[in-house]
Structure 1
Amino acid sequence: MQKMISLEPGKYYHLYTRGNNKETLFRHPDNYAYFLQLYRKYIVPYVDTFAYCLLPNHVHFLVQLKEEEAMKPQWLTEDTTKLVSIERQLAHLLNAYAKTINKRYNRLGRLFQHRFGRKEVTSDAYFTRLIYYIHFNPQHHGLLADFSDWPYSSYHSILSKSKTTLQREEVLAWFGGSDEYRQFHEENAADFTAITPLIEQDEQ
């Protein structure tokens, strides 16, 4: 496993984790919904989310940590330099989910292989390709023939008009609009060459 880098306010990251020994994380459709519910509780207040995909045994998110002012604990009223630890919030998410799954399915032991892996997103090209890579993951892993049929990613949420905590407008503007967003996904099927050196670790 790679050496963990610190998560810093204002920076963009690819966050990912998988089940212990590639164990299934989501056994039922409502497991996916519950994981996203916990994500909204523990993580959304402190990050902007641009893309995600939940697969049976692993998950991916593309986020930007909010600036320092927004990272101050909401429960503290006095002026302080103390910031919320995103690492701790991510741990709360995984622990809360694992506790519920263990109880529901009468299982014991670690559910996740490790805490969230992370890679800093440091270029426009990486940001663009990573959105596509995250959405294409179900097809990449042979779960279905067309990634757009997968219901547990942000691909359709980005195109939807329904309420969302995603940075929908920013993503669509980045690609030049909804038609261009669709076209980029359709025309770049399985072409990860631009970011292969950056994503190879999370494939292991």
Structure 2
Amino acid sequence: MPRRPRIEIAGYYHVINRGVEQRIVFKEPDDYEYFEELMCFYAKSYSITLHNYCLMSNHYHLLLEIHQENLSKFMKQLNSNYAIYFNKKYGRSGHLWQGRFKSWYATDEAYLYTLMLYIEQNPLKANMVKALEEYPYSSYHYFLAKETPECLKHAWIVQNHESDNETIKVMLHSDVDTSVLQELKKASSLVEAPNIDKSLMRKN
């Protein structure tokens, strides 16, 4: 039976993908950085707004906003091109990702706000770092930088709190609304922190 086509309407989406069999998909700093390059390149190519992201060793979270029905095309380019890079670099073959990416539409502002906190706080909840600023593979530290990367210039946080670092810190360190988070987990089976590999951060 053919796969059902995804229903894609303009708006905000929480996107998750993980390595096949929960394997590591980012082994070295170069891997994270190459994925970020691809992500930003294709976001611009497909006119997709990147609001927040966090790359963990065996999965990633993205908060995207699409303006036309092209989320699947964007994700196919991102995942397939990264898989080609990863397989070639590490001399492997076969699928890198655990099936198609998963995505959920952000239905209201409470959902959206909780997603921002959840995504950015992933490294902290996983005990990867003691402060969010220390984790190099998420959008958080870019929001505090003097110059925001091109692909994050239209992010909700930049548009609403640009250069107001204290407000950004307070916001993204806020406690997550547990009732909303439980609904998110129930609806989307969020990847939990214990599944990640901490060895890379221990080396730094």
* Corresponding position of 1:180: 167
* Corresponding position of 1:33: 33
Distance in 1 separating the partners of 2:161 and 2:109 = 11
Contact 2:83–2:96 (CA under 8 A) maintained in structure 1: yes
State which of 162, 173, 196 in structure 1 corresponds to 2:147: 162
Distance in 2 separating the partners of 1:12 and 1:160 = 24
2:130 paired with 1:145: yes
Note the residue ranges of structure 2 that are not aligned, 5 or more in a row.
193-204
**Paired residue type of 1:62:** L
Contact 1:4–1:117 (CA under 8 A) maintained in structure 2: no
SS of residue matched to 1:195: helix
Q: 1:2-33 CA distances to partner (integer Å, 9 max, x unpaired)?
A: x984222x311111101111110111101111
Q: 1:32-60 CA distances to partner (integer Å, 9 max, x unpaired)?
A: 11011111222333211110011101111
Runs of 4+ in 1 over 4 A off after TM superposition: 172-177
Distance in 1 separating the partners of 2:72 and 2:42 = 11
Matches within 5 A, 1:99-110: 99-110=84-95
Identify if the C-alpha distance between structure 1 residues 124 and 175 changes in structure 2 by more than 3 Å, giving closer, same or farther: farther
2:75 paired with 1:90: yes
**Paired residue type of 1:146:** A
TM-score (norm 2): 0.79
Report sequence identity in percent. Answer: 28
Identify if the C-alpha distance between structure 1 residues 179 and 114 changes in structure 2 by more than 3 Å, giving closer, same or farther: same
SS of residue matched to 2:103: strand
CA displacement at 1:145 relative to structure 2: 3.4
Identify if the C-alpha distance between structure 1 residues 169 and 94 changes in structure 2 by more than 3 Å, giving closer, same or farther: closer
Note the residue ranges of structure 1 that are not aligned, 5 or more in a row.
69-82
